[in-house]
């Protein structure tokens, strides 16, 4: 305790010699100890006994102060029933008569610490824990009991809780997990653990922890002072045992008897290193594959086993046999570490029915420390059997290129295709053309020989190329077929005459002198490879001549001595152009030369003697304008015609007699005996109820259930009644409409047709004259019908006279 700064060194020596306790139930006045401090130090230098120093009177030492306090001590976790005596406050002014009062304030005053105000004794009322609070700061004061006036100045001191070993070491970060590579050397650090003790590390050995290994022998050891765990056994193999449980103990008091302990568990995992080579479980593998397998097809897979994990087990597979390495390829699956064998070239059972592959598996990451264990690779043999399948015919070429001259007659030979059956059966092959690519049937093929011929005359200028597709199909087996493309190029022959470009007129200024180039002549030939063009005038012209150029063009010039005059106006030059083909063909055309007036600045005016052309308007624009004008004229004519027709009155309106309105029907009846065409009774009306008929309230839109009694005739119009014929007719119709149950219950428009009571001319029907002939008829009475029937009278009168003759 002397290293805490109090008591002074001399006092510590005095206490040590005299055995004065600094524990409960013992105290020393602080002022005396402080006063003796320097004297003890001097006495120690002069070899003066300390007991004499204490027994000497005040004359032999310094004058002490009467009211100075530093600190008190109290033992933690004190378990006695009586309050623990901490210390005593005393003033030299206290005469013991009770007039002075000791007062204590600060941390825990009156709750943890109490003071006897007469004697100054301080007691702790409860058990103290240093780990909860290590010291308490208090203030002591002496006042006059009656007046409360201070007799001594306030003096601050500390009550320090003295530590005892009451806390065991604790591993706050546990449980722990550590790793160490397998095959590590002895003494390789694994992990360090630390135990914490809450006791005072500055007092005694209560917080001094020593580590020891309870479980984990003989694989690991622990440093007793640092808690570092190391390997204690060499060549620990992860493949044999991967995980270990280690228990470490921490003990305070320096590991001596009576110390408290704490334990923790450490899980130690051995990490993998590449100390195991790959190994195939078998030395031979058998795989079968169809000869029709496509390229890239997975033939099979093999796997070498490696006891290591992760990247230490990573391996690559290779085919050591160079002969078959191009036919098959082995790749490594990075997830499963399997060797995937794929097909790189087509297989043919008839050519080679089996293969043998020597496959090697080797680690990609080799640890140099373990190379002495042997080569980190292994090999195995893979036997691949090719399965025979029915294969389609194989063309000798994937694509064919043929040529034929245009205009060749139908049946001309173009070329041949050939295919054969790759199987041992060697089936017969038949050939055909895919008509989807030859819809116009330009070609035919011999189904047995594969000879391709033209079926029609070909024209290179229409189709310079023909792309065909030819099928080859087996006669037997599964009838498998294959397809090949045939491109036929149509060779050109000189069968098209060249044509001179004469679309635009040649505009020439009047009084143009000779040597002036009027037009650059060019020609177009649909044939290809025309070597040259030869231009000429079909008729000799005194004004123009042609000069040729090597680039298949020519120039039209004025002859020497020729001068163009405006009176010449328009001239037509027939031209001929011939190609240099075999045979040579010649084409003709006409070039228009127009003589125009030209201003000095070069402006050309072709108004004189030339047809009018609106400036800036083409012929197409003029035609469009004329068409629009014609359409407008037609619309105006139609509009005027319709207006005139609207102003003409209708025949019925002009005459005012509805009886002369003729209604035409296209329904041909069966004559007088046809009574089933329609019910004539439905066209008649009745004026009132008729005996034997249904009630007037019955429906009129259905056939009545009772037949009309014989002799009852419904009137169709009134015979002379009051109000005139029309009035009587309307009355009957209104009465009938009112009695109609099917009529709507509101005012509605009723439409009636009334032809009158009859005609003075009688009936025009010929029904009554069936038995008579035209010769028996007398049509003279038609003259009495008035002027409206004069034309009809004349017609029948002529007919009667003709018949009489």
Joined together, the tokens standing for residue 76 give 């933690």
* The total number of residues written for the chain in this structure: 805
Taking each helix axis as running N to C, give the angle between helix 30-46 and helix 9-18, from 0 to 180 degrees, rounded to the nearest 10.
90
Q: For residue 266, give every residue at least 6 positions away whose Cβ sits within 8 Å of its Cβ, in sequence order, or none.
A: 174, 175, 176, 177, 178, 190, 191, 193, 216, 229, 245, 246, 247, 248
Under the banding of pLDDT at 50, 70 and 90, the label for residue 54 is very low
Among 45-59, 170-184, 502-516, the least confident range: 45-59
Half-sphere exposure of residue 499: CA atoms within 13 angstroms, side-chain side: 7
Q: What average pLDDT score do residues 187-214 get?
A: 90
Under the banding of pLDDT at 50, 70 and 90, the label for residue 166 is confident
pLDDT for residue 335 is more than 50: yes
pLDDT for residue 648 is more than 60: no
Q: What is the pLDDT of residue 652?
A: 45
Residue 585 vs residue 686, higher pLDDT:
585
Q: What average pLDDT score do residues 74-101 get?
A: 83
Residue 758 vs residue 210, higher pLDDT:
210
Among 81-95, 279-293, 661-675, the least confident range: 661-675
Q: What average pLDDT score do residues 159-174 get?
A: 87
Q: What is the pLDDT of residue 45?
A: 41
Share of the chain above pLDDT 90, in %: 32
Q: What is the pLDDT of residue 606?
A: 67
Among 151-160, 358-367, 710-719, the least confident range: 710-719
Q: What average pLDDT score do residues 98-118 get?
A: 89
Residue 40 vs residue 749, higher pLDDT:
749
Query: What would the DSSP string read from start to end of 91-105?
Result: -TT--SSS-EEEEEE
pLDDT in tens, 282-331: 999 999 999 889 999 999 999 999 999 999 999 999 999 877 778 999 99
Q: What is the pLDDT of residue 317?
A: 95
pLDDT in tens, 583-592: 888 888 888 8
Q: What is the pLDDT of residue 803?
A: 45
Under the banding of pLDDT at 50, 70 and 90, the label for residue 108 is confident
Q: What is the pLDDT of residue 754?
A: 65
pLDDT in tens, 413-432: 999 999 988 887 788 899 99
Mean per-residue pLDDT of the chain: 76
Joined together, the tokens standing for residue 663 give 């209604």
Q: What average pLDDT score do residues 666-691 get?
A: 49
Q: What average pLDDT score do residues 612-632 get?
A: 72
pLDDT for residue 799 is more than 70: no
CA distance 587 to 605: 32
Residue 442 vs residue 516, higher pLDDT:
442
Q: What is the pLDDT of residue 231?
A: 95
Three-state DSSP state, 491: strand
Give, in order, the Cα–Cα distances in Å from 749 to each of 684, 726, 746, 755: 19, 18, 10, 20
Under the banding of pLDDT at 50, 70 and 90, the label for residue 636 is very high
């Amino acid at each position: 305790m002397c290293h805490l700064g109090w008591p002074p060194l001399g006092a510590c020596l005095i206490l040590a010699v005299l055995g004065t306790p600094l524990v409960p139930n013992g105290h020393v006045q602080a002022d005396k100890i402080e006063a003796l401090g320097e004297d003890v130090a001097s006495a120690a230098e002069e070899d003066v006994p300390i007991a004499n120093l204490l027994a000497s009177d005040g004359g032999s030492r310094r004058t002490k102060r009467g009211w100075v306090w530093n600190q008190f001590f109290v033992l933690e976790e004190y378990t006695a029933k009586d309050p623990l005596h901490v210390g005593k406050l005393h003033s030299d002014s206290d005469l013991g008569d009770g007039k002075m009062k000791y007062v204590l304030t600060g941390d825990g005053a009156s709750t943890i610490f109490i003071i006897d105000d007469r004697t100054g004794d301080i007691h702790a009322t409860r058990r103290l824990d240093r780990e909860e609070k290590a010291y308490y700061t208090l203030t002591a004061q002496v006042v006059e009991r009656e007046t409360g006036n201070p007799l001594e100045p306030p003096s601050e001191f500390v009550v320090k809780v003295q530590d005892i070993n009451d806390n065991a070491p604790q591993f706050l970060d546990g449980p722990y997990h550590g790793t160490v590579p397998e095959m590590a050397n002895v003494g390789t650090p694994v992990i360090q653990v630390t135990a914490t003790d809450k006791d005072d590390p500055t007092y005694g050995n209560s917080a001094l922890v020593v580590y020891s290994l309870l479980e984990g022998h003989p694989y690991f050891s622990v440093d007793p002072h640092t808690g570092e765990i190391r390997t204690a056994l060499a060549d620990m193999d992860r493949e044999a045992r991967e995980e270990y449980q280690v228990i470490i103990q921490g003990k305070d008091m320096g590991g001596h008897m009576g110390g408290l302990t704490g334990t923790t568990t450490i899980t130690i995992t051995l990490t993998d290193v590449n100390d195991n080579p790959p190994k195939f479980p078998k030395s031979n593998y058998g795989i079968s594959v169809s000869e029709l397998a496509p390229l890239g097809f997975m033939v099979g897979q093999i796997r070498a086993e490696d006891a290591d994990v992760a990247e230490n087990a990573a391996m690559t597979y290779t085919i050591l046999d160079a002969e078959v390495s191009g036919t098959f390829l082995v790749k490594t699956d990075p997830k499963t570490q399997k060797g995937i064998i794929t097909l790189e070239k087509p297989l043919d059972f008839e050519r080679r029915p089996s293969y043998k592959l020597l496959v090697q598996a080797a680690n990609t990451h080799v640890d140099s420390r373990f190379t002495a264990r042997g080569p980190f690779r292994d090999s195995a043999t893979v036997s691949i059997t090719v399965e025979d399948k029915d294969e389609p015919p194989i063309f000798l070429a994937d694509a064919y290129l043929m040529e034929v001259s245009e205009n060749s007659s139908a049946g001309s030979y173009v070329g041949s295709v050939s295919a054969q059956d790759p199987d041992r059966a060697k089936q017969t092959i038949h050939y055909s053309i895919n008509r989807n690519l030859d819809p116009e049937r330009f070609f035919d093929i011999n189904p047995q020989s594969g000879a391709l011929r033209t079926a029609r005359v070909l024209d290179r200028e229409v189709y310079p190329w023909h792309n065909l597709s030819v099928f080859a199909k087996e006669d037997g087996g599964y009838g498998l077929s294959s397809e090949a493309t045939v491109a036929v190029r149509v060779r050109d022959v000189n069968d098209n005459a060249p044509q001179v470009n004469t679309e635009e007129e040649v505009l020439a200024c009047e009084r143009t002198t000779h040597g002036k180039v009027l037009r650059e002549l060019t020609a177009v030939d649909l044939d290809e490879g025309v070597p040259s063009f030869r231009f000429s005038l079909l008729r000799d012209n005194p004004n123009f001549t042609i000069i040729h150029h090597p680039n298949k063009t020519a120039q039209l010039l004025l002859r020497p001595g020729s001068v163009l005059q405006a009176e010449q106006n328009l001239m037509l030059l027939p031209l001929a152009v011939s190609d240099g083909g075999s045979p040579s063909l010649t084409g003709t055309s006409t070039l228009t030369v127009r003589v125009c007036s030209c201003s000095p600045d070069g402006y050309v005016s072709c108004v004189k003697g030339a047809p009018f052309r609106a400036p800036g308007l083409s012929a197409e624009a003029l035609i469009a304008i004329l068409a629009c004008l014609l359409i407008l004229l037609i619309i105006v004519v139609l509009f005027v015609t319709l207006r005139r027709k609207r102003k003409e009155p209708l025949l019925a309106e002009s005459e005012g007699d509805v009886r002369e309105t003729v209604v035409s029907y296209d329904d041909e009846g069966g004559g007088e005996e046809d009574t089933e065409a329609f019910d004539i009774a439905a066209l008649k009306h009745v004026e009132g109820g008729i005996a034997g008929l249904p009630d007037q309230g019955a429906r009129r839109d259905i056939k009545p259930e009772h037949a009309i009694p014989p002799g009852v005739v419904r009137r169709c119009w009134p015979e002379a009644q009051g109000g005139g014929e029309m009035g009587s007719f309307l009355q009957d119709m209104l009465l009938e409409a009112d009695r109609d149950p099917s009529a709507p219950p509101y005012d509605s428009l009723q439409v009636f047709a009334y032809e009158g009571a009859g005609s003075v001319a009688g009936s025009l029907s010929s029904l009554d004259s069936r038995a008579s002939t035209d010769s028996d008829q007398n049509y003279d009475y038609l003259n009495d019908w008035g002027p409206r029937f004069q034309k009809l009278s004349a017609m029948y009168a002529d007919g009667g006279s003709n018949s009489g003759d």
